[in-house]
């Protein structure tokens, strides 16, 4: 899918080089609207708040609260409602953040633009530009609307934010070929791009939503993010638990009716079952676990905007990455210098360093560097980050500085004349008077044009006849085919200082090739992703040869890999996602891809069941960043639009930080799976205890308020401690967890059922002995059961390290937060016993030392037998199910 460029409708008044009149501008502004990107109004706080109550778990708890009110159990009803409000408050706080992608897009247009109106130059607000206005442009300005050039002098525009092309594009009034893509329209200017050189005048042809930027804005709006895999898995688990609870409650009521029990008593028991089965604190613990991971990543300069994104990146198995500014530094550097008698690569390899330094100090290379410095209008200083001018000229100055060439002394030579670069001659020439008084001409430009004016070449023995220019043209083509940009350099010592026709009878000095260099941390980061089972794919708007060269440079593609899929090929490859094309499984590089096609690629892999991350920094990446399961933006070099559309922002622009985030995401997912197993096994034990007591005729042995206290105190604090574990140091050596897999695998359900059965047997045994053998009153036996269940769940946390992990190597034991949770829960249980108000609310009865024994024994049994159960299950089930 390509993005069309809108032009002025045929009925629009004719444009003039002198611009519109004020009256025409007002009329057109009313007709075509402001030059602003349409914004979708954000949801109101009321809508965001109401959205927190749209879930099955809230519906079940709400029904339980209503039933409690009906049965006049107002304390229990208020407690249940409090749980609902706590969860809703947390969700509201997390969602109440501005969806600022469109705000950032509009902010790009909040500037002024210079136009001709009423035959005068005027500065008008950018959003008041209209079709037919004449824009005046010069270096340093941002193009305020899509426009068509009718006049240009050495005009160059940086379009990397829209196209991914790292080099500025030369613009001129030439007509493009019919149906030419955006990157091949030299007469077109696009809103949001930056003028880096020259001047120009252009007619505004599209404003607001009709611009390229407006089209991308619509794509951002349409690219609604889907629920993260973690959210989907937790939602699926919640539905399973609710359905299980409803089935059990219905079965219990049916059995009770068959036995002739009162309907009111049965419904009260159904409320107790509902409260017992639902892990009310699971969403809270998951949220706080992700928040803790967010803080860890913040210390590594990774800003997390959407909490669930942390875990999502941990499950990612495909990473799409932009090229310019992400894998590369978004600045040109000299890659190759090809002298008549030597070819130098930069930076030189270790084994070539000595030979390179010798060649650089030779006369031939010194002359080439002199020409590069003199035939140059850029400014560059090694100790200053600011550099102005053509990126290739900046790269030439950087090379000269880096290798000890005396740049200041050379630049002190007086410039007598200049023949500027233009599209006809395709070269630039300058005439200088060197410090000794000698005139000297420096020339650079397209290799074939410079060679056409050369009669000799400079070798180690001095100037020699240029015998085979075709060989140099072959070398230039060889470099260009690998995605490098080339310049030829030449010089001449004139007999006089005549500034006319500088470029003739030249001495060829050599070729210089340029490439946007790779970021140094990218290669080890990509290797780490490969070991972790993650495919890294480049998707860029740049030239295929350039993209493939960079991919090889960062080891994303093998040296013999020549596969590149371009945007024109994608439609056929993506036409049938149900029958994937084999080339898609082999391709590592996608080039000449539009923003809309990036969305198509992401959708394709998502339909194949992959979790897709997208890394980018430009405006053209914003829709894909929003559409991906996890969008990661570069925060330093990246555009504001990209940062606002992404879920993660790398504040150091380091690709290696992505690997850190992946590792942290995997640790968090392991921790979440661990505490989910803990909570499910604890809640199942509560459910089984209540069900078993009810079926044997003991009635409701636990009150709803007691169960709520257990779920929100003695369950939640140990679960929180599990959620902040440090994780295994080998977590990046395993493949990503399956995006289609459930939160609880079959092996996890068996383990949870085993733990729940063990706790139920120990607790019911203690309850039976306390009531029928020791002679405790029913209310006192219930108090014993309440504290026994709380203590059993507290020590059960030590069974969560893994079924193959012996107790002495249990990493839970080394988790200081687990011990803090144990101390906190113990203190809270003591408070419930000694504070009269809580004793009354929870119906706590006084206990004797014998009663304390009936509390401690089942807890000890749960710890000892839980370790044994984990060991036995670990021996007989597959490792994948045994590993937490």
Phi, psi values for residue 124, rounded to 5°? -120, 150
Contact between residue 688 and residue 760 where contact means Cβ atoms under 8 Å apart: yes
Residue 222 DSSP one-character state: H
Q: Are strands 630-634 and 648-650 parallel, antiparallel or unpaired?
A: parallel
Out of 322, 621, 715, 748, pick the active-site residue.
Answer: 322
- CA dist 758 and 754 (Å) reads 6
Spatial CB neighbours of 33, under 8 Å, sequence gap ≥ 6: 207, 208
Spatial CB neighbours of 670, under 8 Å, sequence gap ≥ 6: 725, 727, 728, 731, 884
Coil/strand/helix, residue 810: coil
Terminal-residue alpha carbon distance, the chain: 44
Neighbours of 422 (CB within 10 A): 13
Neighbours of 664 (CB within 10 A): 24
- CA dist 304 and 310 (Å) reads 7
Neighbours of 401 (CB within 10 A): 17
Spatial CB neighbours of 288, under 8 Å, sequence gap ≥ 6: 720, 723
Cα–chain-centroid distance for residue 677? 29
Neighbours of 212 (CB within 10 A): 27
Selection from 672, 765, 692, 56 nearest residue 308 by Cα? 672
Look-up: residue for tokens 């001449």? 492
Angle of the 353-360 helix axis to the 363-374 helix axis, nearest 10: 70
Selection from 460, 375, 64 nearest residue 249 by Cα? 64
Side-by-side strand order, sheet with 302-304: 302-304, 648-650, 630-634, 612-616, 318-321, 535-539, 589-591, 565-566
Residue 798 DSSP one-character state: G
Contacts 24+ apart (CB under 8 A), 117-125: 117/19, 117/20, 117/21, 117/22, 117/25, 118/19, 118/21, 118/22, 119/18, 119/19
Structural element, H or E, at residue 418: strand 414-419
Question: Which tokens sit at 217?
Answer: 């804005």
Contact between residue 464 and residue 457 where contact means Cβ atoms under 8 Å apart: yes
Contact between residue 410 and residue 374 where contact means Cβ atoms under 8 Å apart: yes
Annotate 611-650 with b (16+ C-beta within 10 A) or e (fewer).
bbbbbbbbbbbbbbbbbbbbbbbbbebbbbbbbbbbbbbb
Spatial CB neighbours of 706, under 8 Å, sequence gap ≥ 6: 786, 842, 843
Bridge partners for 408 per DSSP: none
Is 322 a known active-site residue?
A: yes
Residue 104 CA: distances (Å) to CA of 100, 324, 617: 6, 21, 14
Structural element, H or E, at residue 337: strand 333-339
Coil/strand/helix, residue 192: coil
Look-up: residue for tokens 């940086």? 158
Contact between residue 450 and residue 477 where contact means Cβ atoms under 8 Å apart: no
- CA dist 225 and 603 (Å) reads 11
- CA dist 704 and 269 (Å) reads 9
- Which segments within 400-552 are labelled E, that is strand? 414-419, 427-433, 439-445, 454-459, 462-465, 485-492, 506-515, 535-539
Residue 757 CA: distances (Å) to CA of 250, 348, 879: 21, 67, 23
Phi, psi values for residue 508, rounded to 5°? -70, 130
Q: Which residues are catalytic?
A: 322
């Amino acid at each position: 899918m390509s993005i069309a460029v809108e032009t002025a409708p045929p009925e629009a008044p004719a444009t003039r080089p002198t611009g519109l009149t004020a009256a025409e501008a007002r009329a057109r502004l009313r007709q075509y609207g402001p030059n602003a990107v349409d914004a979708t109004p954000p949801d109101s706080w009321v809508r965001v708040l109401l959205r927190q109550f749209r879930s099955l778990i809230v519906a079940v708890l709400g029904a339980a609260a209503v039933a409690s009110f009906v049965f006049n159990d107002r304390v229990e009803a208020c407690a249940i409602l409090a749980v609902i409000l706590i969860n809703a408050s947390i969700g509201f706080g997390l969602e109440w953040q501005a969806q600022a992608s469109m705000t950032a897009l509009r902010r790009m247009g909040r500037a002024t633009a210079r136009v001709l109106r009423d035959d005068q130059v005027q500065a008008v607000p950018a959003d008041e530009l209209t079709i037919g206005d004449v824009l005046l442009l010069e270096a340093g300005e941002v193009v305020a609307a899509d426009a068509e050039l009718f006049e240009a002098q050495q005009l160059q525009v940086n379009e990397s934010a829209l196209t991914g092309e790292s080099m500025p594009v030369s613009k001129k009034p030439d007509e493009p070929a019919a149906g030419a893509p955006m990157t091949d329209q030299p007469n077109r200017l696009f809103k949001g791009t930056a003028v880096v050189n020259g001047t120009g005048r252009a007619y505004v042809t599209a404003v607001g939503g009709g611009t390229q930027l407006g089209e991308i804005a619509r794509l951002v709006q349409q690219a609604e993010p889907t629920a993260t895999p973690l959210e989907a898995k937790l939602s699926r688990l919640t539905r399973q638990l609710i359905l299980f609870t409803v089935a059990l409650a219905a079965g219990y009521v049916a059995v009770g009716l068959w036995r002739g029990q009162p309907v009111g008593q049965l419904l009260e028991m159904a409320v107790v079952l509902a409260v017992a089965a639902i892990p009310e604190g699971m969403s809270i613990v998951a949220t706080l676990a992700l928040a803790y991971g967010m803080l860890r990543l913040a210390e590594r300069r990774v800003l997390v905007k959407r909490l669930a994104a942390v875990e999502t990146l941990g499950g990612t198995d495909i990473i799409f990455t932009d090229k310019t500014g992400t894998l590369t530094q978004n600045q040109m550097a000299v890659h190759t210098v090809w002298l008549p008698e030597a070819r130098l690569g930069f930076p030189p390899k270790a084994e070539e360093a000595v030979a390179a330094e010798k060649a650089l100090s030779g006369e031939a290379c010194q002359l080439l560097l002199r020409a590069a410095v003199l035939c140059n209008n850029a400014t560059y200083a090694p100790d200053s980050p600011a550099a102005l001018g053509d990126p290739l000229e900046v790269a030439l100055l950087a090379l000269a500085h880096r290798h000890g060439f005396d740049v200041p002394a050379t630049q002190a030579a007086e410039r007598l004349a200049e023949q500027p670069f233009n599209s006809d001659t395709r070269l630039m020439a300058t005439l200088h008077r060197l410090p000794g008084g000698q005139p000297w001409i420096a020339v650079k430009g397209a290799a074939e044009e410079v060679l056409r004016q050369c009669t000799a070449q400079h070798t180690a023995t001095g100037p020699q006849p240029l015998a085979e220019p075709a060989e140099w043209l072959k070398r230039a083509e060889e470099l260009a085919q690998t995605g490098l940009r080339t310049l030829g350099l030449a010089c001449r010592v004139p007999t006089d200082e005549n500034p006319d026709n500088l470029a003739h009878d030249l001495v060829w000095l050599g070729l210089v090739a340029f490439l946007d260099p790779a970021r140094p941390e990218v290669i080890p980061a990509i290797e780490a992703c490969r070991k972790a089972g993650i495919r890294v794919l480049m998707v860029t708007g740049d030239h295929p040869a350039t993209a493939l060269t960079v991919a090889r440079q960062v080891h994303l593609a093998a040296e013999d890999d020549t596969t590149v899929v371009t945007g024109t090929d994608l439609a056929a490859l993506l036409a049938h996602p149900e029958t994937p094309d084999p080339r898609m499984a082999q391709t590592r590089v996608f080039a000449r891809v539009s923003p809309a096609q990036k969305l198509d690629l992401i959708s394709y892999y998502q339909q194949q069941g992959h979790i897709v991350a997208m890394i980018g920094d430009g405006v053209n990446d914003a829709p894909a960043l929003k559409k991906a399961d996890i969008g990661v933006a570069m925060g330093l070099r990246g555009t504001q639009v990209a940062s606002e559309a992404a879920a993660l922002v790398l504040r150091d622009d380091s690709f290696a930080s992505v690997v850190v985030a992946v590792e942290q995401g995997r640790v968090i997912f392991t921790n979440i799976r661990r505490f989910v197993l803990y909570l499910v096994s604890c809640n199942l034990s509560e459910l089984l205890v209540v069900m078993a007591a009810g079926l044997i005729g003991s009635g409701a042995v636990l009150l709803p308020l007691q169960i709520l206290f257990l779920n929100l105190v003695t369950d939640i604090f140990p679960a929180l401690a599990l959620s902040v574990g440090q994780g295994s140091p080998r977590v990046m050596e395993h493949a990503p967890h399956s995006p289609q897999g459930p939160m609880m695998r079959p092996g996890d359900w068996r383990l949870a059922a085993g733990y729940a059965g063990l706790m139920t047997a120990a607790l019911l045994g203690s309850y039976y002995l306390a009531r029928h053998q020791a002679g405790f009153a029913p209310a006192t036996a219930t108090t014993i059961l309440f504290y026994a269940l709380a203590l059993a769940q507290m020590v059960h946390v030590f069974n969560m390290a893994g079924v193959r992990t012996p107790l002495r190597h249990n990493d839970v034991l080394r988790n200081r937060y687990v011990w803090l949770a144990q101390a906190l829960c113990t203190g809270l249980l003591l408070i419930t016993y000694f504070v009269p108000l809580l004793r009354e609310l929870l119906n706590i009865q006084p206990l004797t030392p014998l009663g304390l024994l009936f509390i401690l024994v089942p807890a000890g049994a749960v710890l000892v037998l839980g370790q044994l159960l984990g060991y036995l299950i670990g021996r007989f089930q597959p490792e994948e199910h045994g590993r937490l």
